């Protein structure tokens, strides 16, 4: 095992897969000459050349469409967005082309493409640069959605995403690229659609994903001092979702809190809540609680942003509410 940064895990995954398969290429803004906006493609231009690591104009609709079209001629593109906020400009290509080619061609054309980049807030970037779109993409049949929380998961899942024959939305975070973690020296992949228990516990289940997992871990460290033992599930994959692991945990703990950095209406938490009450309602000893951002665009003010984002204090309050602790 070696300790590397999140950005290095991303670069390693892409480079290893590009060495293995010459049909894979990387395309996006500043991915080549600048080594990536967050240095997640450092050294790749030198190794693979400008035919496979391609800088683009600021034209998300254009290069997203080129990527989708190139899958129909045997390529396996990786499309990088500087942020998924900018992917809104190219979302027609993702939803109406990438997600539907396999069905609309009667199975003649799979669409092996990865759309990757950061999601969610990243400090004072204000309303248009602080949005989480996981639930938007997960709502669309034909897409797979992955949001890793650490370098190990990021590398293993990105390699699996690149090898997948369907379009994958792979979401990262500007605030995680410097995070460090252990990664195996040798080759490995992780299966898409399998969640992971990041902290075993017996009293309550806390489901989360992505960078906000850190707040869940902080909260669990505080709560164990009060003899509340929290089981933390990291979804890792939003679609397909590992409902069975959630069900098994809730059957054991009989309580559920969901932590998600997104607007509260019609999100991932809402879907999990429905599935749990529909499938294992009789195991619940308390109503399900979900924790989201405020139901407003993200503010620029640091004071307001702190209030807008969920934090570990919010997690502690929600867990105590579900545990009927004062």
Within this chain, do residues 229 and 309 fall inside the same structural domain, yes or no?
yes
Closest of 213, 224, 196, 252 to residue 319, by C-alpha: 224
Within this chain, do residues 67 and 178 fall inside the same structural domain, yes or no?
yes
Catalytic, 129? Answer yes
Q: Looking at 17, 29, 80, 129, which residue is catalytic?
A: 129
Within this chain, do residues 62 and 170 fall inside the same structural domain, yes or no?
yes
Within this chain, do residues 94 and 118 fall inside the same structural domain, yes or no?
yes
Taking each helix axis from N to C terminus, what angle separates 243-253 and 268-280, rounded to the nearest 10 degrees? 60
Within this chain, do residues 306 and 178 fall inside the same structural domain, yes or no?
no
Distances (CA, A) of 219 to 144, 159, 202: 30, 31, 15
**pLDDT-based confidence at 257, cuts 50/70/90?**
very high
Within this chain, do residues 178 and 221 fall inside the same structural domain, yes or no?
no
Within this chain, do residues 112 and 31 fall inside the same structural domain, yes or no?
yes
CATH of the domain at 309: 3.40.50.920
Give the integer Cα–Cα distance in Å for 96 and 239.
18
**pLDDT-based confidence at 326, cuts 50/70/90?**
confident
- Report how many domains make up the chain: 2
Q: Is the pLDDT of residue 200 over 80?
A: yes
Q: Looking at 17, 60, 172, 174, which residue is catalytic?
A: 60
In a domain, 188, yes or no: no
In a domain, 302, yes or no: yes
Region 104-124: mean pLDDT is 96
User: pLDDT tens across 265-304, in order?
Assistant: 999 999 999 999 999 999 999 999 999 999 999 999 999 9
Within this chain, do residues 35 and 145 fall inside the same structural domain, yes or no?
yes
Within this chain, do residues 150 and 261 fall inside the same structural domain, yes or no?
no
Within this chain, do residues 241 and 93 fall inside the same structural domain, yes or no?
no
Within this chain, do residues 136 and 176 fall inside the same structural domain, yes or no?
yes
Pick from 126, 148, 183: which residue ends a domain?
183
Average pLDDT taken over every residue of the chain: 97
In a domain, 190, yes or no: no
Catalytic, 187? Answer no
Q: Is the pLDDT of residue 129 over 80?
A: yes
**Residue 116: both structure tokens together:** 């990757």
Distances (CA, A) of 67 to 24, 25, 155: 11, 9, 22
User: pLDDT tens across 206-222, in order?
Assistant: 999 999 999 999 999 99
Within this chain, do residues 45 and 126 fall inside the same structural domain, yes or no?
yes
In a domain, 189, yes or no: no
Tell me which residue range forms the domain holding 177.
2-183
CATH of the domain at 47: 3.40.50.970
In a domain, 191, yes or no: no
Pick from 183, 205, 223: which residue ends a domain?
183
């Amino acid at each position: 095992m070696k300790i590397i940064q999140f950005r290095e895990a991303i670069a390693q995954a892409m480079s290893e897969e590009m060495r293995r398969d010459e049909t894979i290429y990387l395309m996006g803004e500043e991915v080549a000459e600048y080594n990536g906006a967050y240095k997640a493609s450092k050294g790749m231009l030198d190794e693979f050349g400008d035919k496979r690591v391609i800088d683009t104009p600021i034209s998300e609709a254009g290069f997203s469409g080129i990527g989708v079209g190139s899958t129909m001629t045997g390529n396996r593109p990786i499309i990088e967005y500087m942020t998924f906020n900018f992917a809104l400009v190219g979302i027609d290509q993702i939803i109406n082309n990438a997600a539907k080619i396999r069905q609309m061609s009667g199975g003649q054309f799979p669409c092996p493409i990865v759309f990757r980049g950061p999601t969610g807030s990243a400090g004072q970037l204000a309303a248009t640069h602080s949005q989480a779109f996981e639930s938007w993409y997960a709502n669309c049949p034909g897409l797979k959605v992955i949001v890793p929380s650490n370098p190990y998961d990021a590398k293993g899942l990105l390699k699996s995403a690149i090898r997948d024959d369907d379009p994958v939305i792979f979401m990262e975070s500007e605030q995680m690229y410097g995070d460090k973690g252990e990664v195996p020296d040798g080759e490995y992949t992780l299966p898409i659609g399998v969640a992971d228990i990041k902290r075993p516990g017996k009293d309550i289940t806390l489901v989360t994903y992505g960078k906000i997992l850190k707040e869940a871990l902080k909260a669990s460290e505080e709560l164990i001092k009060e003899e509340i033992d929290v089981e933390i599930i990291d979804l890792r994959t939003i679609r397909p979702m590992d409902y069975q692991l959630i069900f098994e945990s809730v059957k054991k703990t009989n309580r559920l809190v969901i932590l998600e950095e997104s607007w509260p209406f019609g999100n991932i938490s809402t879907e999990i809540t429905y599935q749990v009450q529909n499938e294992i309602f009789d195991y619940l000893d308390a109503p399900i609680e979900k924790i989201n951002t405020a139901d407003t665009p993200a503010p620029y003010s640091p004071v307001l942003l702190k209030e807008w984002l969920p934090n570990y204090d919010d997690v502690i309050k929600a867990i105590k509410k579900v545990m009927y602790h004062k």
